[in-house]
Structure 1
Amino acid sequence: MRKHYTIKSLAYGLALGFWALALLSCTQENKSNGEGEEIKAADLQYYLDIGIKARENGRYIQALEHLEMGMQYAESSVDRKIYWDLLTNIAYVHRDIGNTQEGRKNFKKALHYADTDAQALITYSKLSSLYSYPKEADSARYYIDKALSLCGSGTTDKNCMLAYNHLAWDYIQRGQYEKGLEVFESRIDIEQLKGDSSSSTEYLGAVCTLGELYLNLEQYDKATSYFTTALTGFEKHNNLSGTLAAKKGLADTYERTGELTESIRELKEIERLTEQRNTLQLQKEVAKLEAEKLLENKDAEIDSLALETQEIEESMDKVRLFSSILGVCVILFLAFFLYNGYKNKIILHRLNESLSLNRLKALQSIMNPHFLFNSFSTLQNFILKKEHIKANEYMTELSSLIREVLSSSDSIFHSFKKEVQILKSYIALEQGRFYGRFEVQYDIDESLFELNPTIPSMIIQPYLENAIIHGFSHTEKEAKLTLSLKKEGKQILCKVIDNGIGRKEAEKLKKGSKASGHLSIATRNTDERLAILNQFNDYKASVNIIDLYNEVGISEGTEVQIILPIS
């Protein structure tokens, strides 16, 4: 893959070099007739407008390309505001695709060109939202305070109220709910923020914050009212992220007030809407990977352009003489490399499509309708038997699993701790479903919790599902499941061991079973996903399945060994 990107970088460098020569020639001619500055200003606004439009339509790489081209034109401009506009919009693109480091870097650059308090306030406020809680809570609070330092003590304007909304959210994350509510009551006029639009993103976001505050202050009627208002506005304007946030708040509120039917209804809606969000998230994930590749080559391209510019300045008299010859050579050179680049782009596109499809399949393997139906049936059974404590525990475990899976859908990888939490929740739900017919033993290396490495999400779960459904469904003996996670050098050795009926007997029984067909598909999709990851990121992972027998050749279960490198 590195060879492909080297060829692409060379092609881009040659193309940009030829473009620079042509631009210099045109610029000299335009300056001679006094039209240079007008064309430059028009180009700046053009690239800014096109970049903003592309971002709004979800074409993130195209947006970055136009905004970065605008930055090149702006290098000799004296208009500081155009710099601020370009940098903040570049930061917005990186924020949208989840590239927080680049988003922060460009917001900080934009601060150097903020000539008004309003520009600085907006930049600080947006910058604070790129820090996560609780790990980066102090950094988030630092930039919130910087934004608020630009607000007066009297009536606040819209930007200041939005900054105070960030402060209220910070208090929520710290568990200081009374302070968060005090901020709203003293600093935010929700009706003034509403203004002429009852469905603006800023206003609805503030309404959601109020709902979260009242939920944690156990004022459930007010929480329900605010979450419902936010949900209506977000649904009206097809704001998927806002709709999910409002529905999550409603589900939590109903759960705490014991309205389990309404809570389950909202959770089912969340499941449906999450499928739509997954498609968007996968597109953003691919865009993020492509943006990172562009950034890797950016410094080399800048150095190359700087060297070419210096050489052009030193030999300006020779440019016109050799420009025609150089142009012909460059065009021929590009024709050769662009052909190879086109083929490489198709290969990369196919890899991205395969990775995206397998990501969706991985989500479906744990959130498939069969599993959810059985889980809700088990919960309903507890409720009908009036086993309220078990029903509450089961509902809590199920909602926790759904939340963790949905929050993990933002990335192909997540932390080791989150993976273990998801696996334990899943096993606990299956134990409840099978009424404790099998016991589970965890053997997890404590050093892995301290290291907390990043691993691919939802790789282990399909093999646990196979062990429980295939291994234990038709056995009469005392069933036992073992999950072992050990650190061995620079890799994790995972073992899923069951004392079930074994693979040969399971193959005989699974014919005609829809659930078994789903499990075979789930493990096959997992194998395909690991193969794609190995190809795409040089990620060396493997799976080995061992049939266990006793000394007389009778099956004693199955052992699955999964090797995951530590990144």
Structure 2
Amino acid sequence: MKKNLTHRHLPNQFTLFSLIGLLILLFTLPISAQIAVQDSLLQLIKEHPQNDDRKAELLNALSFNIHNTDPKQGLAYAQEVIDFGSSLKEKRNLYGAYMTKGINLMQLAAYEEALSYYNQALKGFQALGDRENEASAFSNIGVIYKHLNVYPKALSNMQEAAHIFNEIGHPNGLYIYVNMAVIYSELKNFNKALEYYTAARQLSQKRNDRKIEAYSVFNTATLLIDQNKLEEGLAYMDTALVASNEINDKLMVARIYGNMGEAHGKLGNNAKSISLLTTALSLNDSIGNRKSRTLNLLNLGDIYFKTGKLPLAYKYGLMAYQEGKLLDIIDAQRDAAHNLSAYFERTGNADSALFYYKQYILFRDSIDNEQNRQQITRLEMQYDFDLKEQDYLKEQELSKLQLKQIWLYGLILVAFIILLAIYFIQRARIRSIRLKNELKEKELLQRAESLLMEQRISESELKAIRSQMNPHFIFNVLNSIESYILDNDPKTASILVQKFATLSRLILENSTQSMVTLDREWSALQRYVELEAIRFNHRFSYSFTYRAEQAARTLLVPPMLIQPLLENAIHHGIRHLTDYDGELQITVDNNQEKLIITITDNGIGLSRASLFAKPSLLKQQSIGIAGIKERIAIINARQKDNRASFELFDLYEYGENGTKAVITLPLVLVGQEDGIQDVNLIS
């Protein structure tokens, strides 16, 4: 459950000597000195009001300076640079603002938005040929993917950063060791993680880098706790806490308290554990770190469950599950689902226990699937190969210099050219193999996406069939038929049977195709409304109006998409009217690219429906609307430009009675969709 701290890189856009000095000292100064740096930057900005490169440098430095203590204000400083960035001569300062904004957003757990700004910074630095900042952008993108639990992409981006740092001989390469170690510790590969942490510690001691040293101690402690070496891990945590307070890193302080709280919980020190976790939760709330806050909630729920305080265990467990779902933190959702399953099992709620246990299995498999592990192994092998390739090139350059000093220069030069030719042939061969593998991976990915889309379509269509042919509707129709038979009205009963049979046939036949002609769907809708009108003793009138330019038999629509709206209009709107004055209008129109279907009723409206309907009916209504939205989303996923839409209006808000629903679909003609046959209307 523990999450390790990773390092964020400062863009190298600050060219003035005074600013460089401030940033070099930033991580080693105590809190009071860091505040002095902040005050100095604010004073310099005050003395330089004009919006130019100088002010951009100062604002970027200030934004980075406070990203650990006040990320919301840091966002404001970075955004100020972006606002006047188009007027800057040095575009490096604008791209630096993108980077610092991403850093502050990452502190606030706004990972998707932070990823967008990092990508903008990456493109800008690549265009400038700024290799150092390009590597920093790759590193931060890797950190984002780590937070999102997309470990293959995280490792790939960090490897790219390490490759560039090693290529240019930059010392920031040691930060990448820490970040890569974090990923391996997340995957419980403790030996590999410890290998990278050891390398980072050794380099940080040579460079006297207090920040990396503090991170390494903290992460080493985390590894020990993960391996249940709790007492030893807590001793390291105490050292890390002192170091983190020295550099004023509130984010790491909060995580240290959280990990210490979890360790004390494993040791059975429940009161101490709750105190530390509550402190961590308070710190994360103050700095807006929602991901760490989610983990604190998860651990508090676990402690309360162990101590038998079930209401508090449920409260914190549910909060952790909801936060994890909101932030898309898969491992947090996994552990929270497991705890909730245990809670409901203990309280005797078997259905809820089974539900959350299924969720736990789903999230667990998502994280630990074999595909991720295989891809990480491949990337690790690729990274090792790249390092060997760099070493090989350096050795060749050194050999070339030495050969110049030898009398037999000509002969050795020929040998060198032969070796170089062999190298390039091998390199071309390796590139060819890589290209084939990448093409194969893309093909498999496209195939998987296609199968997933087909599955979603099938599930959506099945839900639509269930919505139209629900047992309650069938039962009511059969009761109506029985009533007419008992009342000696066989003619009406016969008409009902014929209409019900026709409707059932249309629904079943339409359900076999992903698209059907509009006249078939139109006929099914008419039969459904006629049956409902008879069932409700003609308490409402209805009209079907077709104004489209093309013939209904030439247009294609998804089957079973409109009926849930008719059902909602009748059962949740018109049926609650006191008089027999209900009206239901269904119209079809089109423009050049769209088919527009409008359903209007004069019922009680959406806002008043909840006053009349039972909870189960409201749930059924929401499921029907959710199903329509899901099918619209599937249609849009298959459309590039001409997209579908669904809108629902409560006419009570406009001074009228009733509800209006509008479905807009792409205009598709027969023959434009594979597998569709032109069939005539069944009457």
Of structures 1 and 2, the larger Rg is shown by 2
| TM-score of the superposed pair, with normalisation by structure 1 | 0.45
Q: TM-score, normalised by structure 2?
A: 0.38
Q: Taking CA–CA contacts closer than 8 Å with sequence separation of 6 or more, which of the two structures ends up with the larger relative contact order? A: 1
